[in-house]
Amino acid sequence: MVNDNQDFGWTPERGYTSQDTSLNMSGELTGYQRPMVMGIMNVTDNSFYPGSRIQGEDAIRHRVEQIIAEGGDIVDIGACSTRPGSTPPTVEEELERLRMAVSVTRSVKEDFPISIDTYRASVADSLLEEFSVEIINDVSAGEMDPDMFDVVAKWRVPYILTHIQGTPLDMQADPRYDDVVAEIIDFFSERIDRLTSLGLADLIIDPGFGFGKTIDHNYTLLKNLAAFRVLGCPILAGLSRKSMLYRLLGITPEEALPATQSVDTIALLNGADMLRVHDVLPAAQAVSIHMAYSRQPNFM
C-alpha cells in the first residue's frame, strides 16, 4: 500500500507541524504533535544490553516510574530476547513474565500506554484480552507466527511491523540484499495491504536496524529513512546501543549512549515518528531540540 496523500507532519523542508501521528489506543484517539519516545523494558535475563534487563516487581516499578519521569510516551515490554543467536523461552514462560510486568505497570499508572514486544500470536492475544494493552510490537511482522495478523485485526490494536531477514537465531549469519531500501519497502507494502484488507488502520513500520542487516545496510537505511514515508505509516527507529554503533566504534553496548544520541538525532531529521530507546531522558531531550530546530525558517 502506498498512500501519497497522508501527512504525518514531517517534510525535509519544514520538519513537524501540528498535523502529526494519531493512534487509536484502547478505543481512544491519541494524537502526538511531536515524535514519540518508547522506553524499553526487558523482563529477561539475556537481552543484549545488560542494563535493560529488569527482574522483579520492585525493579519493574522503578523502571516504569523512570520512563514516565524522563518523558517517555510508551513503555515497550519484552519477555523474549531477540538478540542474534538467542533461544526463545517457552510460551508459558514468556506469558508469566509479561503478566507480572504489565500488572505492575498498570499499578504505577493505569492509563500509561503499554506496548508488548512479542512475535507470538497467542501471547499477544492473551495480553490484549487480559489487560487491554495498547500496542503490539512484532519483530517479525507476522513472519514467525502466521496467526499474528488475525489477532491484531481482531482487537483493532496499533501494530508495529518490524522487518527481519531470517529469525533471531540466524538473522546475522549472512544478510544479503540487492537494494536494501527498495526490498524492505516492498516487504512492508505487501504486509500493509494484507493488514488493511483485514480492517487494521493503525500501522507503524520499523525498518529493523540490526535484524538481518550488515553495518552498511543499517546506515543505508538510516540515511534513506524518509523514503519509507511513501508507505503512509509512522516510522519507528530502534537504534539504541545496537551493534551498528558499538562494533563500528570498537566499544561495548554500555559505552554506546553518545553514539545512540547521534543516530537518534539523524533519525529524527530523516523523519522518524518514534524512537525506541533504553535511555529515555536523552531521547526526550533530542526530540525537544529537534522540534525547536524544525520550527525555524530556512533562509537558504
Residue span of the structural domain in which 119 resides: 33-295
CA 260 to chain centre: 15
- State how many domains the chain has: 1
Q: What is the CATH number of the domain that holds 199?
A: 3.20.20.20
pLDDT 10s digits, 240-255: 999 999 999 999 999 9
Query: pLDDT-derived band of residue 84, with 50, 70 and 90 as boundaries?
Result: low
Position 12 scores a pLDDT of 53
Cα 300 from Cα 298, distance rounded (Å) = 6
The verdict on pTM exceeding 0.85 is yes
Question: Does residue 282 fall inside a structural domain?
Answer: yes
Is the pLDDT at 188 greater than 60, yes or no?
A: yes
Question: Does residue 79 fall inside a structural domain?
Answer: yes
Question: Does residue 24 fall inside a structural domain?
Answer: no
pLDDT 10s digits, 251-298: 999 999 999 999 999 999 999 999 999 999 999 999 999 999 999 988
Cα 211 from Cα 139, distance rounded (Å) = 9
Question: Does residue 26 fall inside a structural domain?
Answer: no
Question: Does residue 21 fall inside a structural domain?
Answer: no
Question: Does residue 62 fall inside a structural domain?
Answer: yes
Cα 292 from Cα 294, distance rounded (Å) = 6
Evaluated on CA atoms 249, 255, 256, 261, the torsion sign reads negative
Question: Does residue 274 fall inside a structural domain?
Answer: yes
By annotation, the residues acting in catalysis are 242, 276
One-letter amino acid at 64 equals: V
Cα 87 from Cα 76, distance rounded (Å) = 20
Question: Does residue 8 fall inside a structural domain?
Answer: no
pLDDT 10s digits, 110-127: 999 999 999 999 999 999
